[in-house]
Amino acid sequence: MRPVSAGFCCNNACGFCSQGALRAFRPRPSDAAVRCAVEAALREDRELAFVGGEPTLREELPAWIAHAKSLGASWILLQTNGRRLVYPGYCAALKAAGLDACEVALQGSTAAMHDYHTEAPGSFRQTAAGLRQARAAGLEVCAGAVVTRSNFRHLPELVRLAKSLGARALRLAAARPVGRAAAARDRLLPSPELVAPFLEAALTLARKLDFAAFAEDAAPRELRRFFAGLGECEPAAAPQAERRLELPASKPKPGAREVRAPRKRTGSELKAIFPGLFEDGAR
């Protein structure tokens, strides 16, 4: 599958965005340039993915999809934060143009968690509803989440949420120390040892629910065309850019290296500290 970039503009501002400053200094491609990119992609492959930034911010997107379809594209994927999909008429227009599937970014199992990552208040509400609207319009939908220090303990809840919203699969990928995340590693990047038990719990739950969830690029063959990959990153990426989620060979003690508070807090104390964190994200 070939990626076609719609430019780096986005209506989210994720703290881990690998594209970082590209948004500011790379001009957005013209309509003609994207059409040329579509044609070049289809000379190499019959499957393509529109990627960003956020491709739905480009008004030409339905026309680009129709252009790709008219040239014989056999599979067209949209990599999106899903916010504009909240509008049923927009989903219908994408479907009518020839779009097959959406890969939607879901960064938390609650509104507070998702919006914390996207730095865009209200984005969860639109993304979750957008995922449902896309399904209702007849589009295939898969979800992808970037695993950070602030959501790794909630990977099982993310599995439940993605399934309840109608996603066909969920991909979990570690935040990379590139783009915006390069300057915020301590805040964003979790220790793989701490993530492992939660990842294992999430994958076990997914199996019980008969739902496809996987880490990094371990997608089953039939699901690979739902995931377009990381795309272009801000140049001068840090050397340890290849940070990956892996299950441990032997089970580590959960949280063995965590610094713990001297006493456990009660549920109501935690709710007072993190209002909204425990809300049911599927509502």
Vertex 119: Cα angle to 116 and 123 (nearest 5):
85
Rounded CA-CA distance 126/141 in Å is 15
Interface residue with ligand SF4 among 1, 4, 12, 148 (CB under 6 A) is 12
Positions in 198-237 near ligand SF4 (CB under 6 A) = none
Provide the mask over 87-126, with x wherever binding to ligand SF4 is found by CB under 6 A and - wherever it is not: ------------------x---------------------
Provide the mask over 44-83, with x wherever binding to ligand SF4 is found by CB under 6 A and - wherever it is not: --------xxx--------------------------x--
Residue 10 interacting with ligand SF4 (CB under 6 A): yes
Residue 19 interacting with ligand SF4 (CB under 6 A): yes
Rounded CA-CA distance 117/107 in Å is 7
Instruction: Tell me if residue 241 falls in helix, strand or coil.
Output: coil
Backbone angles phi, psi at 105, to 5 degrees: -85, 120
Using CB under 6 A as the binding criterion, the count of chain residues that bind ligand SF4 stands at 11
To the nearest whole angstrom, how small is the minimum distance from the Cβ of residue 207 to ligand SF4? Answer: 28
Q: Residue 131 CB: number of other CB atoms within 10 A?
A: 27
Interface residue with ligand SF4 among 14, 134, 169, 202 (CB under 6 A) is 14
Q: Residue 30 CB: number of other CB atoms within 10 A?
A: 11
For residue 271, the one-letter residue type is K
Residue 17 interacting with ligand SF4 (CB under 6 A): yes
To the nearest whole angstrom, how small is the minimum distance from the Cβ of residue 122 to ligand SF4? Answer: 14
Rounded CA-CA distance 177/238 in Å is 6
